[in-house]
Amino acid sequence: MLILLVVAYAGILLIAPITAIVQQAFVDGIQPVLDNITAPDAQEALRLTAVIALSTAAINTVMGILVAWVLVRCRFPGRRFIDGLVDLPFVMSPVIVGYVVIVLFGREGWFEGLSIAFTPKAMLLVTVFVSLPFVVREVMPVLRAMPPEQEEAAYTLGAARLLTFRRIVFPTIRPAVVYGLVLTLARALGEFGAAAVAGGGVQGRTENATIYIFRSIHDRNDTGAYSMAILLGAISVVVLVVMNILKQVQAKRSQ
């Protein structure tokens, strides 16, 4: 009964919506799907989505490792407070995040000289914020569990801190970094609320793939919305497959 319950739950939430989207997208054949995906506005939305997602993954991977290192290895006043702030994107509404960017960086905002609201830079900023915790929360437990003996031995033998991190610490935390990177990339690919508010959803300028789907629904372009949804879903599946392959390779190396 428990297995049947789990299967039914997965079917209702995952399989049924995917099946419905695929069926509606190809109701008139494959050519309308290809025409909508290759349209100039769809291509521009995909390009902007890719740029923001890859930039977000790169930024949050580097900064996530640094934040995790500081929170685990350093002791300073306010450390617990900062540790709690890392989880703020999990509980804050993305729409509020986008609105805060407008308040801070709008034309009449607090930082009027850095007016980036309704630009791709604002979309990148909010995407970095909403996906901040993933690498940090994946790396921190691994750093806590690492025994310090190997690092201390490396320092005793004259190794520099950067070399010690690269040869001893990073190989240990690499699986956590990869997993956090994939989660960050997946979150960035699917971001809508914060990006729509901070970027404004201007067609051809600040319209990513999810905003394109939203606009297509309002324009009664159901085929375009379904086509882009299928493409984003396929990209997400590819990301998950790559993540599993990397995890298997890393497991074999560890053995």
Looking at residue 38, which CATH number applies to its domain?
1.10.3720.10
In a domain, 92, yes or no: yes
Cα 134 to Cα 7, 22, 90, distances in angstroms: 28, 30, 10
Question: Given this model, what pLDDT does residue 62 score?
Answer: 94
DSSP letter at 206 equals S
**Apex CA 98: angle with CA 36 and CA 49, to 5°?**
30
Which element (helix H / strand E) includes 200? none
Length of the chain measured in residues: 255
In a domain, 182, yes or no: yes
Task: List the structure tokens of 135.
Answer: 């690498």
In a domain, 139, yes or no: yes
DSSP conformation letters of 6-47: HHHHHIIIIIHHHHHHHHHHTTT-HHHHHHHHTSHHHHHHHH
In a domain, 174, yes or no: yes
Question: Given this model, what pLDDT does residue 97 score?
Answer: 92
Lookup result for tokens 């500081």: 70
In a domain, 180, yes or no: yes
Domain count for the chain: 1
Rounded Cα distance, 3 and 241, in Å: 25
Domain that residue 87 falls in: 27-254
pLDDT truncated to tens, each residue of the chain (255 aa)? 899 998 888 888 878 888 888 887 787 788 888 888 888 999 999 999 999 999 999 999 999 999 999 999 888 898 899 999 999 998 899 999 999 998 888 877 777 667 888 899 999 999 999 999 999 999 999 998 888 888 888 888 888 888 888 888 888 888 889 889 988 998 999 899 899 999 988 888 899 999 999 999 888 888 888 889 888 888 888 888 887 787 777 677 767
In a domain, 2, yes or no: no
